[in-house]
Amino acid sequence: MSDDYRLSVLICAVDETESLEKCVAQLRDAVDAYEYVFVLSRDCLPETRRTVLRLCEAPDCRYLVQDSYGYGNAIRNGIAATAGTHMLMWTADGGLDVSSVPEMKRISESDPKNIVKVSRWLPGGGFVNYGRLRKIANYLSQKAFAVLYGVKLTDFTNGALIAPLDLFKNIRWDNKDFSFVPEMIFKPLRLGVRFTEVPCVNYERREGVSHVSFAHLVKYYLVIFRIRFEDRSKLILNSGK
Per residue in 170-209, pLDDT (tens digit) is 999 999 998 999 999 999 999 999 999 999 999 987 665 6
Is the pLDDT confidence value at 1 over 60? no
* Cβ–Cβ < 8 Å for 43, 18: no
Per residue in 10-50, pLDDT (tens digit) is 999 999 999 999 999 999 999 999 999 999 999 999 999 99
Q: pTM for the whole thing?
A: 0.93
* Cβ–Cβ < 8 Å for 115, 104: no
| CB neighbour list of residue 211: distance below 8 Å, 6 or more residues apart | 14, 71, 178
Alpha carbon distance 122, 156 (integer Å):
12
Q: How far apart are the first and last CA of the chain?
A: 30
Domains recognised in the chain with CATH numbers: 7-230 (3.90.550.10)
Per residue in 57-116, pLDDT (tens digit) is 999 999 999 999 899 999 999 999 999 999 999 999 999 999 999 999 999 999 999 999
User: What is the per-residue pLDDT for 209?
Assistant: 62
| CB neighbour list of residue 12: distance below 8 Å, 6 or more residues apart | 38, 39, 40, 41, 66, 71, 74, 75, 78, 92
Write the DSSP symbol of residue 191. T
* Cβ–Cβ < 8 Å for 213, 169: no
The sign of the dihedral angle between the CA atoms of 164, 167, 170, 171 is negative
Question: Helix (H, G, I), strand (E, B), or coil: what is residue 116?
Answer: strand
Write the DSSP symbol of residue 172. -
Alpha carbon distance 195, 188 (integer Å):
9
CA 219 to the chain's CA centroid: 18
